[in-house]
Chains A and B, each alone.
Chain A
Amino acid sequence: MTSLPESKPGAKKLGLVIDLDTCVGCQACATNCKEWNTSGHMAPLPDRHPYSAGQEGVWFNRVHSYEAGDGEDGRTVHFPRSCLHCETPACVTVCPTGASYKRAEDGIVLVNTDMCIGCQLCAWACPYGAREFDDDQGVMKKCTLCVDRIYNEHIPEERRVPACVSTCPANARHFGDLGDPDSAVSKLVAERGGIELMPELGYKPVNRYLPPRRAPKADAGPPKDAGPLPSQITNPLLRWVDKVLSR
């Protein structure tokens, strides 16, 4: 059924919160996503010419790098882009076959690749480029929010998060229920002013991006409670202790 499930207040809305302040653009999330999902729910993810010019394949997560602003306010922002598991995903409603669907129980948007006819209208309907076509199988593929990990009782509980979240070395990716205002991710979004991408299109994405924090003023000096600088400590033993404790 490509009609959307009725949205009830307090319903579970699983999604990601991505911290653009701490993302270092290392591509580990994209790599681990590919690694997990090429043998996961939507497996395989094709790769054409993987070791030569013309490399091309399906990825659920792509990490862009941007420059935003100018002068002192300007900064580099690494920007992972993947499915936002929207509340009103047109990719689902345009699907003529019922292959695309949004799960009522947790809001995850999935494709049943056994029913997909490969018309690719869903990719046109997605503003965020979350869907990529698999030329080998002739069907559409997309992020599953690692539906085969997050409920998987065969892996330790602490690892039941999407592959991109588990691998992030900067802890820039957070996973949880954005429908619950008391969840850790919802609190993070509230605290940091999490943003929606292209809200003007009305897709109501569930995933949120935490904007980069304002850079401190260059002439602000050391914080008031800062101790002496290492160079100001004359005793070598104390200097070593300071160094160890400052790590």
Chain B
Amino acid sequence: MNPAPSIVFFTVASGAGYGLLFWTGLLRPLGWVPASPGFGAAAVGLALVLIMFGLLSSMAHLGRPERAWRALSQWRSSWLSREGVAAVVTFGPAGLLFLSVIGDHTALATAMGLLSALGAAITVYCTGMIYASLPTIRQWHHPLVTPGYLLFAAFSGAALLAMLAGFWGQAAAPAAIAAVLGAAAFLLKRVYWASVDGARPVSTMETATGLGAIGKVRVLDPPHTETNYLLREMAFRIARVHAARLRTIASLAGFAAPAVLLALALVTGGVVAGICAFAAAALAMVGLMAERWLMFAEATHTVALYYGADTRG
């Protein structure tokens, strides 16, 4: 699949934003992050900025962005529509959370924080289901795709929260959470890659053409000599060697290194902890961009079968 920069950026940025919103909403009432209005405003503010930039970026992907409001109508059948509804609804409590932390209304902030956390989790779940519900792309139609979206959002959000809490000198709790989630994300991605690499594609050129009864099918002539929308969008090919390198970058820079840095922040404390948390958050975002880019680049669509591509990826 074509890794459109707008979608890669959208899912990483809004995922991290929702993760940050989730943990801020959940950990503030517990007193695990700084209770000052300044910190709350910074955390919720950064989350909203990331979510908003992500959503604006996803709008850039649309052919008719001015009609985007229509996407809220088909929540009965469409995960994309459900994601849109969940995103819009979550802005309510998230906005009130921002106002209540600034105004220091503890009870309201707690309630809005918990509602925001719920909305964030539902939104990211819908994002994951958009991909996981497509049987045409076997690398997405996989039981670990939606848990992955949730885990990566929770991890990057916790890393960002640790970074912010580091500026207040209280990174311990979010750093511990982020370190554990980073390790879990590393493992999940490894298991996922092993699973998709080992699986045999269900659909083949033989089932796509129905000619399997005659024998093996090969392309003789393509229907067109130039490229087309289908080939550009759904028959994107990535060199195996690049994919291998990017997997290493995504899993090490995106998950393993931040997890180690966050663990380091936990044991050191003070300024060093702040620096470690900052570096961890920055690495996590860069690594997740690589992970998300790969999520598209390595995904193979059944339509490529008609053009002779195998979908082993």
**Which residues of A are in contact with B by a Cβ distance under 8 Å?**
1-4, 20, 25, 30, 53-59, 62-70, 73-77, 79, 81, 90, 92-99, 115-121, 123-129, 132-135, 137-140, 195-202, 209, 211-212
* B207: contacting residue among A93, A98, A132, A200, CB under 8 A: A200
**Is the Cβ of A119 less than 8 Å from the Cβ of B211?**
no
Chain B, interface size category, equals: 35 or more
**Is the Cβ of B74 less than 8 Å from the Cβ of A97?**
yes
Q: Which residue of A lies closest to B1 (CB)?
A: A124
**Is the Cβ of B70 less than 8 Å from the Cβ of A98?**
yes
Contacts of B247 in A (CB 8 A): none
**Is the Cβ of B207 less than 8 Å from the Cβ of A73?**
no
B40 shortest CB reach to chain A, Å: 33
**Is the Cβ of A198 less than 8 Å from the Cβ of B217?**
no
A-B pairs with CB below 8 Å: how many? 206
**Is the Cβ of A2 less than 8 Å from the Cβ of B78?**
yes
**Is the Cβ of B226 less than 8 Å from the Cβ of A66?**
no
Chief secondary structure at chain A's binding surface: loop
Q: Does B71 contact A (CB under 8 A)?
A: yes
B148 shortest CB reach to chain A, Å: 18
Given A70-B216, A201-B135: A97 in contact with B130 (beta carbons within 8 A): no
Contacts of B78 in A (CB 8 A): 2, 93-96, 121
**Is the Cβ of A212 less than 8 Å from the Cβ of B63?**
no
Q: Which of A73, A99, A212 has the most CB of B within 10 A?
A: A99
Q: Which of B72, B134, B211 has the most CB of A within 10 A?
A: B211
Complex: A73 Cα to B84 Cα, angstroms: 53
13 pairs, A vs B, C-beta closer than 8 Å: A2-B78, A25-B221, A66-B211, A67-B220, A77-B211, A95-B74, A95-B77, A96-B74, A119-B62, A124-B134, A127-B203, A201-B202, A202-B135
**Is the Cβ of A3 less than 8 Å from the Cβ of B230?**
no
Q: Which of A126, A127, A201 has the most CB of B within 10 A?
A: A127
Given A124-B1, A197-B208: A117 in contact with B65 (beta carbons within 8 A): yes
Complex: A195 Cα to B306 Cα, angstroms: 16
A24 shortest CB reach to chain B, Å: 13
* A132: contacting residue among B213, B223, B230, CB under 8 A: B230
Given A63-B223, A95-B74, A198-B302: A121 in contact with B130 (beta carbons within 8 A): yes
**Which residues of B are in contact with A by a Cβ distance under 8 Å?**
1, 61-65, 67-68, 70-74, 76-81, 84, 130, 133-137, 202-203, 205, 207-211, 213-224, 226-230, 233-234, 301-303, 306-307
**Is the Cβ of B203 less than 8 Å from the Cβ of A198?**
yes
Given contacts A56-B228, A66-B217, A116-B64, 9 further A-B contacts (CB under 8 A): A2-B76, A59-B228, A73-B215, A93-B77, A96-B81, A98-B74, A99-B70, A119-B71, A140-B63
**Is the Cβ of B70 less than 8 Å from the Cβ of A97?**
yes
**Is the Cβ of A56 less than 8 Å from the Cβ of B226?**
yes
**Is the Cβ of B84 less than 8 Å from the Cβ of A96?**
yes
**Is the Cβ of A68 less than 8 Å from the Cβ of B80?**
no
* B210: contacting residue among A55, A119, A137, A197, CB under 8 A: A197
A53 shortest CB reach to chain B, Å: 8
Contacts of A135 in B (CB 8 A): 63
Contacts of B227 in A (CB 8 A): 56
Given A94-B79, A124-B234, A201-B203: A196 in contact with B220 (beta carbons within 8 A): no
**Is the Cβ of A118 less than 8 Å from the Cβ of B220?**
no
**Is the Cβ of A211 less than 8 Å from the Cβ of B213?**
yes
Complex: A127 Cα to B210 Cα, angstroms: 14
Contacts of A118 in B (CB 8 A): 62-64
Q: Which residue of A lies closest to B227 (CB)?
A: A56
Complex: A25 Cα to B219 Cα, angstroms: 14
Q: Which residue of B lies closest to A121 (CB)?
A: B80
**Is the Cβ of B74 less than 8 Å from the Cβ of A30?**
no
Complex: A81 Cα to B219 Cα, angstroms: 14
Contacts of A58 in B (CB 8 A): 229
Contacts of B209 in A (CB 8 A): 64, 66, 68, 77, 79, 197
Complex: A126 Cα to B61 Cα, angstroms: 19
Contacts of B61 in A (CB 8 A): 119-120
Contacts of A132 in B (CB 8 A): 228-230
Complex: A140 Cα to B233 Cα, angstroms: 13
**Is the Cβ of B71 less than 8 Å from the Cβ of A3?**
no
A134 shortest CB reach to chain B, Å: 8
**Is the Cβ of A68 less than 8 Å from the Cβ of B215?**
yes
Q: Which residue of A lies closest to B61 (CB)?
A: A119
Contacts of A73 in B (CB 8 A): 214-215
- Across chains A and B, which 10 residue pairs bring their CB atoms closest together, nearest first? A118-B63, A138-B63, A69-B215, A129-B303, A96-B81, A62-B223, A96-B71, A65-B221, A97-B70, A195-B210
A101 shortest CB reach to chain B, Å: 10
Given A90-B135, A124-B137, A129-B230: A209 in contact with B210 (beta carbons within 8 A): yes
Contacts of B215 in A (CB 8 A): 68-70, 73-74
Complex: A108 Cα to B58 Cα, angstroms: 30
Given A1-B74, A94-B80, A198-B207: A129 in contact with B64 (beta carbons within 8 A): no
Complex: A200 Cα to B56 Cα, angstroms: 37
